[in-house]
Amino acid sequence: MTEIKNLQIYGIKESIRRSGFPMRTGIPTREDVSVKEIERANSLGNAKSGSGYDNFLKGIIVQFNIKYPQYLSPQLQRYHWFDIVSSQSKMHCLTKGKFKCNKYVNPFVKEQLQKYIDVYNESPTYEHFMCCISNCPMGLEMWMGISTNYLQLKTIYQQRKNHRLEEDWGVVCKMIKELPFSEFICK
């Protein structure tokens, strides 16, 4: 099952203050944000995606680690919602026999994969390596470090909140809903 750890958020106050730049003649110097600034940021954050009014959300940076099944990887990469900082290597995890699969992978499939790995480790040929990689189940779980921002998370939430892969995208959407000032991005 998808899991998120080590969540960190940067730039909230600064971005809320910057949301008012179009109407300002100077730059505010105080530390805290006012209720009026938060209300403006909430209004702008909930503007229609693509309108440009919500651009200040780019300044709220979110970083986390995500454990995901292999079948989710193309979706994570396809839309450029996330910058992948680093990720586990399937090749290294498998050949060391240190792989974990989600609960939907048939035990027989895992046993067969382990046999391919054992053969590879006894005789590490290209053919044996390709048998390991090619027979890896899509339920293989790996970790990836992600960097993104509230504007991208707004898009993710809107497009994935009712997604069929509820154990995966549901975890991501739950994390988004629990972020500080999530009302800026979750309608």
Same domain, 157 and 69: yes
Domain assignment of residue 106, given as a range: 89-141
Same domain, 153 and 129: no
| Tens-digit pLDDT profile for residues 92-149 | 888 887 789 999 999 999 999 999 999 999 999 999 999 999 999 999 999 999 999 9
Domain total in the chain: 2
Write 161-168 long-range contacts (CB < 8 A, 24+): 165/72, 165/75, 167/1, 167/2, 168/1, 168/2, 168/68, 168/69, 168/72
Q: Is 184 left (phi over 0), alpha (psi -120 to 50) or beta?
A: alpha
Same domain, 115 and 149: no
Predicted confidence at residue 157, as pLDDT, reads 94
